[in-house]
């Protein structure tokens, strides 16, 4: 299992050393949650912050766009250093066009679904994306409880498209990660469980070994 610590749980006054911390802890990716206050009822960070973080680590940037109009911002996030760009199928615009835009920019495309969206919504895009992000909490805030009832979606995607990576996001910790591993999850996002751990390297190791 690959581990993508979510920067949302970091100390925003010290992003450079927080990135160093998770890099040294053995993280595989940096998960970056972008919120616009419209698609989700919260604001987080945007393009200049991604750009500012880019020189601080060699880890790939896994950018999770929780924004209403993703296609309009894909190019700027790519230029700021995003390696993978995930957008929500519930957002505005034609998902096929947003995927094309991500590919044109040279980033890896991924789609995400909120807990209330049925897994069938991703099926038409499985041959065009590198990854599907299955939300295991309602997007918008860190520190919520894991929804194990979302793991059926993971199984359905893996059955239909074994080559597409599946990532889960929300409430992943040393206990819930075991359920994720059983369901076939490839990458887990973990905010609180890594950044608030006394020993982040140990936290990453435990998640990875699930
Ligand atoms: C929620 C975000 C998550 C969140 C995860 O909208 O997409 O990435 O930061 O946080 P934890 O791991 O604390 O649930
Ligand atoms: Zn996220």
Q: Where exactly are the structural domains of the chain?
A: 2-208
Strand segments, DSSP code E, in 98-206 are 108-113, 131-135, 165-169, 187-190
Which overall architecture, per CATH, does domain 2-208 show?
Alpha-Beta Barrel (3.20)
> What is the H or E stretch that residue 31 is in?
strand 30-35
Whether 185 lines ligand 1, by a CB cut-off of 6 Å, is no
28 catalytic? Reply is: no
Q: Which atom of ligand 1 is nearest to the CA of 135?
A: 7
Cβ–ligand 1 distance for 144 under 6 Å, the answer yes
Atom of ligand 1 minimally distant from the CA of 35: 6
What is the predicted pLDDT for the residue at 189?
Answer: 98
pTM above 0.85, yes or no: yes
Ligand approaching nearest to the C-alpha of 144: 1
Q: Which two tokens stand for residue 98?
A: 């947003």
b/e code 27-62 from CB counts within 10 Å (16+ = b): bbbbbbbbbbeebbeeebbbbebbeebeeebebbbb
Contact call for residues 32 and 43 (beta carbons, < 8 A): no
Catalytic, 169? Answer yes
pLDDT-flagged residues of the chain (< 70): none
Give the C-alpha separation, 8 to 144, whole Å: 13
- Rounded to a whole number of angstroms, the CA Rg of the chain reads 16
Structure confidence at residue 47 (pLDDT)? 98
Give the SS3 label for residue 9: helix
- At residue 146, the pLDDT reads 98
């Amino acid at each position: 299992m690959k581990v993508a610590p979510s920067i949302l749980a970091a100390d925003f006054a010290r992003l450079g050393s927080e990135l160093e911390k998770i890099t040294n802890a053995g993280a595989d990716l940096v998960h970056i949650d972008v919120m616009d206050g419209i698609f989700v009822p919260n604001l987080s960070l945007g393009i200049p912050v991604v750009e500012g973080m880019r020189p601080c680590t060699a880890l790939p940037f896994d950018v999770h766009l929780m924004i209403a109009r993703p296609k309009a911002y894909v190019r700027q996030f790519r230029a700021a250093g995003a390696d993978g760009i995930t957008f929500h199928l519930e957002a505005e615009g034609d998902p096929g066009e947003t995927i094309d835009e991500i590919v044109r920019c040279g980033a890896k495309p991924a789609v995400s679904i909120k807990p209330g969206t049925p897994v069938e919504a991703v099926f038409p895009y499985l041959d065009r994306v590198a990854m599907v992000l299955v939300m295991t909490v309602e997007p918008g805030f860190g520190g919520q409880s894991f929804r194990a009832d979302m793991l059926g979606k993971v199984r359905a995607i893996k059955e239909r498209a074994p080559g597409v990576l599946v990532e889960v996001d929300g409430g992943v910790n040393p206990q819930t990660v075991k359920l994720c591993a059983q369901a076939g999850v490839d990458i887990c996002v973990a905010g609180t469980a890594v950044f608030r751990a006394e020993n982040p390297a140990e936290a990453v190791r435990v998640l990875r070994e699930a």
